[in-house]
Amino acid sequence: MRKLFGTDGIRGIAGEAPLDARTIYAVGLALSHQVNGTYHHPRILLGMDTRESSEWIAALISAGLAEGGAIVENAGVITTPAIAYLARRHGFAAGVVISASHNPWQDNGIKVFGSDGYKLPDETELRIEEEIFRRLESVESPQSGHAPAVNPKYRADYEESLRSAVPGLHLDGMHVVLDCANGAASAIAPELFSGLGGTIHVTHATPDGRNINASCGALHPEVVAAETKTLGADLGVTFDGDADRALFADAHGRVVNGDAVMLLAARDMKQRGMLDNLTVVATTMSNMGLEAALRRDGIRMLRAPVGDKYVLERMRQENAALGGEQSGHILFPHLATTGDGLLTALVVLDAVCRSGHPLHELVADLRVYPQVIVNVRVREKKPLDKIATVADTIHQAEVELAENGRVVVRYSGTEALARVMIEAESEEVMRRHADRIAAAIRAELGA
């Protein structure tokens, strides 16, 4: 069982364990040592988001990496998927991103990609963890450190890769709203999309170190939806802090989530002969309505555990060309090794432009079953099936809903939360079961 790595790297409050100075330095040492067995003086690429803590964390991990014999290069403020792409493209032993994605500015994190551009397997993360804990028994953090100077060629290279993914895309005649979440997309999206023509209205692209994800971005898609409707724009796009996911808004100001994006993309790819095995891999959180809509088009939907790395694992097992999460992580393995919000936005815009239809028409038949997610803050993550009152309450909901709904209760992989998701044909039934399960968890484990 991993103790530091969650579903998306190491994450916590900046300055507190596991993101205290000693642990960060030890992470650098351990990672350098783990890749040293394969590479002599391994090259490691570093990138970060816009949080005020990102620079000092980058300096500390760079010091640990260098002490372990690695050569560190710095791409500066850049998206998470950019580091995945660049690590593979330029033959780095690993890529490291300092980011806490959608979390508030006080948090930060460390994400690691292998030389192949994929997130590390669980067993590799476990080996790194074990070495981190060994080193913490004796290591002292350096008094100071600094990250290498930023090399701008990496951002330029990534931007060019995005443009080449959608050759011929022009937004002439379109009005698009971009919400950059005051995060990593702020450094790339305005220039990238402005170069495609059309009218581009950019919001939340002035990061100050503390406003990342603050009442904006993919955590608050209603913001870009309202802006899109107010401006009379054709489409809105909103990213999270490190831009590895994207959500959308249609011209009527309605939010278009990852389920709808997968439906749109699956149909487009099937029409173009690109949907291998006529299979889409979603997660346990995707709505039953998506499964039904895909089935009508002769496309099967499989489910994986939450976390884009687990979706990708299932995709590779099934040779699927499309997968993703309701939250906006969409995976196009023929184009990228990880979820990429900027790439997703370009692919969706390309499909909309080629179809000649507005976004809302392309997903109009997606019937969404009422769904609610209740988050319960917990003091510890004990196995829920070992807590009798919680297990019994979940079982009662599953029996009552049977074939007419779904129950998914799980711990967040990045926060101290239990997530209760209920789908049902009736909103009253949905909320009743969600509240009962949440109350049982709160009574036993509530923080």
- Which residues pair with residue 12 across a beta bridge? 108
Q: Which residues does the annotation mark as catalytic?
A: 101
pLDDT digits (tens, 9 = 90+) for 232-247: 999 999 999 999 999 9
| Structure-block tokens of residue 99 | 């980011």
User: pLDDT tens-digit profile of 333-361?
Assistant: 999 999 999 999 999 999 999 999 999 99
User: Do strands 417-424 and 405-411 pair parallel, antiparallel, or not at all (unpaired)?
Assistant: antiparallel
Q: What is the DSSP letter of 12?
A: E
Which pLDDT score, from 0 to 100, does residue 197 have? Answer: 96
- Nearest residue to 445 via CA among 375, 374, 385, 380: 380
Give every strand in the sheet of 405-411, ordered side by side.
Answer: 371-377, 417-424, 405-411
Task: Report the C-alpha gap between 16 and 2 in whole angstroms.
Answer: 18
d(CA 66, CA 32): 8
Contact 74, 32 (CB under 8 A): no
Distance between CA atoms of residues 277 and 408, nearest Å: 27
Written as six digits, the tokens of 262 are: 């997968």
> Mean of the pLDDT values across residues 150-177?
97
Give me the pLDDT at residue 37, please. 67
Q: Compute how many other C-beta atoms are within 10 angstroms of the C-beta atom of residue 201.
A: 16
- What is d(CA 273, CA 431) in angstroms, rounded to the nearest whole number? 41
The top-scoring range by mean pLDDT among 144-158, 230-244, 407-421 is 230-244
Specify the range with the lowest mean pLDDT, choosing from 3-7, 141-145, 184-188, 308-312. 141-145
- Over residues 418-422, the mean pLDDT reads 95
- The string of pLDDT tens digits covering residues 374-391 is 999 999 999 999 999 999
Give Cα 59 to chain centroid, integer Å: 24
Q: Is the pLDDT of residue 321 over 70?
A: yes
Three-state DSSP state, 333: coil
> What is the reported pTM?
0.89
Contact call for residues 342 and 188 (beta carbons, < 8 A):
yes
Nearest to 282 by CA among 255, 256, 300: 300
Residue 56, pLDDT above cutoff 80: yes
Predicted confidence at residue 191, as pLDDT, reads 96
Instruction: Look at the chain and count its residues.
Output: 447
Please classify residue 194 by burial: count the beta carbons closer than 10 Å to its beta carbon, then call 0-12 exposed, 13-18 middle and 19+ buried.
middle
Task: Provide the percentage of residues in the chain whose pLDDT is more than 70.
Answer: 99
- State mean pLDDT over 31-49: 87
**CATH numbers and ranges of domains, the chain:** 5-155 (3.40.120.10), 167-368 (3.40.120.10), 371-445 (3.30.310.50)
Q: Which two tokens stand for residue 28?
A: 């650098």
Residue 112, classed as helix, strand or coil, is strand
